[in-house]
Amino acid sequence: MAVMRWRRPAPNVVRASVRTRVRIGVRAGVVGVLVWTGAATAQTNALPQLKTIDAFVEEVTRTDSLDITDTFAILDFIFATLPERVKVYPTENYFYFRFVHNGLEYAGNFRLDALNRDDGKLEFGYYEELAPWKPEGSGLERYVILDASHGVAVERIQPLIYRVTYKGKSVSFELNDLSAVKPPDGGLGPDEKFLGPIFDESAVRFFLVFNGKLKIFHFILDETARVPDEFFPLAGADRILIGKRTGFAFYRDHKLPRKILIGAYAPNSAVNNYYDGPFDQLPDNFIKGEELRQAIIASDPLAKGKIGRLGHFPDGESRFGIHPYMLYRSTRELMRVEHCTARQVGTANYYRCFVAPERLTHSE
């Protein structure tokens, strides 16, 4: 089998197996630019935030003169709208935004990539929101790597805080510091290695774990902090739990007190929204030395000599795909895991049940 890659697609190409560099986020009913600020931990407020239909209608019916095809006009608009300090929650360091222009929704992000941010680079992109009913290639997409040649200065002021200055305005981007986060005692098996903590754009946290004996990866639910979802058991398989908000499916491990991600809802992956699963939010800021590259090569020897320390390919557009969970359309598809564990729970191959067959490499 060839080395598995995730690539940045051509504009509006939607594939479940595509890893995009310019990420899209979906949040219905948000007015203007979506800005994630505040603490990474759960906040308790007296009452929920109310969203009303009049605000939504007014936003999608208003018109403006912004030139959506002008990348730097959009950059000017977005950057001028940001507060002086923002929090970048996802662990691949994407800061997402959304806005409505003349009735159409657009999404995009700034990214302080671990590979080039200390070289003064800031990635910026936006494009028309994806939807399954739109023709392939019909939507606008723009992407650029910004640096001093564009009048953009990127300065590290603390290990995980970067000041970005553009046209006289500075914004501090606070990257999510999860350096103290680790699995609880008893949360790992004897053959497993913890590679790093993940904060997914869904706001769910995970532990990235590699089983060196079976040469497989797992995303383990981080329950050391409150999980912002509620779960229901799959009928006929009470160990399979599905998130009401995210659609993430977990299996309650027979051997350890933990939940292993086994599935994400396929239509979410198809439109590349916040609920496509944590494959695109690896713990880049917290990977130690060569641990990730060594794990990838162990899982697929064909990657040897072809990837960098964080799993990137030399083209800069591709990255080795760590995607052990299935993409399901019907929750009954998740029963495959239940049937597998019933046969394998007492065997050395038990943990392979949590890797979708199509995700297994030739070495597994």
Q: Per the domain annotation, does 79 fall within a domain?
A: yes
Residue type, 40: A
Average pLDDT value for residue range 99-117: 97
* pLDDT on residue 42: 56
Buried b (16+ CB within 10 A) or exposed e, 6-16: bbbbebbebee
Strand ranges inside 12-151, DSSP E: 85-88, 94-101, 104-111, 122-128, 141-146
In a shared domain, residues 82 and 145: yes
In sequence order, the β-bridge partners of residue 278 are none
* pLDDT on residue 43: 67
In a shared domain, residues 167 and 224: no
Of 114, 147, 175, which residue constitutes the final position of a domain? Answer: 175
- Per DSSP, the three-state class of 284 is helix
In a shared domain, residues 14 and 136: yes
Average pLDDT value for residue range 280-308: 96
The 10s digit of each residue's pLDDT in 313-342 is 998 779 999 999 999 999 999 999 999 999
Look up tokens 């598995």; give the residue.
Answer: 4
In a shared domain, residues 288 and 156: no
CB 165 within 8 A of CB 126: no
In a shared domain, residues 160 and 294: no
The 10s digit of each residue's pLDDT in 252-279 is 999 999 999 999 999 999 998 999 999 9
* pLDDT on residue 106: 97
In a shared domain, residues 216 and 306: yes
* pLDDT on residue 1: 33
In this structure, the number of other CB atoms found within 10 A of the CB of residue 253 comes to: 19
Q: Per the domain annotation, does 183 fall within a domain?
A: no
Residue 76 per-residue DSSP state: H
Average pLDDT value for residue range 113-119: 97
Q: What residues have CB less than 8 Å from 31, skipping those under 6 apart?
A: 55, 56, 59, 100
Structure tokens at 228: 């912002």
What total number of domains does the chain contain?
Answer: 2
Q: Per the domain annotation, does 149 fall within a domain?
A: yes
* pLDDT on residue 225: 96
Average pLDDT value for residue range 140-161: 97
Is 163 a residue whose pLDDT tops 60? yes
Of 175, 204, 239, which residue constitutes the final position of a domain? Answer: 175
Q: Per the domain annotation, does 67 fall within a domain?
A: yes
Structure tokens at 275: 């609920």
Is 19 a residue whose pLDDT tops 50? no
In sequence order, the β-bridge partners of residue 208 are 196, 219
In a shared domain, residues 145 and 227: no
In a shared domain, residues 171 and 266: no
Q: Per the domain annotation, does 182 fall within a domain?
A: no
Instruction: Please state whether beta strands 122-128 and 104-111 pair in parallel, antiparallel, or not at all (unpaired).
Output: antiparallel
**Among positive and negative, which fits the CA dihedral 58, 60, 63, 64?**
positive
- Per DSSP, the three-state class of 33 is coil
Residue (of 184, 14, 34) closest to 100 by Cα position: 34
In sequence order, the β-bridge partners of residue 110 are 95, 124
* pLDDT on residue 12: 31
Task: Decide which of 19 and 61 is more confident.
Answer: 61
Measured distance CA(105)–CA(124) in Å, rounded? 17
* pLDDT on residue 269: 94
Residue type, 316: G
Of 112, 141, 175, which residue constitutes the final position of a domain? Answer: 175
Domain enclosing residue 324, as ranges: 192-359
Q: Per the domain annotation, does 185 fall within a domain?
A: no
Helix (H) or strand (E) holding 209: strand 205-211
Q: What residues have CB less than 8 Å from 297, skipping those under 6 apart?
A: 303, 304, 307
Q: Per the domain annotation, does 320 fall within a domain?
A: yes
* pLDDT on residue 27: 30
**What whole-number percentage of the chain has pLDDT above 70?**
87
In a shared domain, residues 140 and 50: yes
DSSP 168-201: TEEEEEEE---TT--PPTT-S-TTEEEEEEEE-T
Burial of residue 33, with CB atoms counted within 10 A of its CB: 0-12 exposed, 13-18 middle, 19 or more buried: middle
In a shared domain, residues 51 and 99: yes
* pLDDT on residue 92: 97
In sequence order, the β-bridge partners of residue 235 are none
In a shared domain, residues 153 and 217: no
CB 95 within 8 A of CB 109: yes
Measured distance CA(215)–CA(237) in Å, rounded? 27
* pLDDT on residue 221: 98
In a shared domain, residues 165 and 201: no
Average pLDDT value for residue range 191-208: 98
What is the average pLDDT score of the chain?
Answer: 89
Look up tokens 């009048």; give the residue.
Answer: 151
- The mean-pLDDT minimum among 19-23, 158-162, 168-172, 312-316 falls in 19-23
The 10s digit of each residue's pLDDT in 71-84 is 999 999 999 999 99
Q: Per the domain annotation, does 93 fall within a domain?
A: yes
Length of the chain: 364
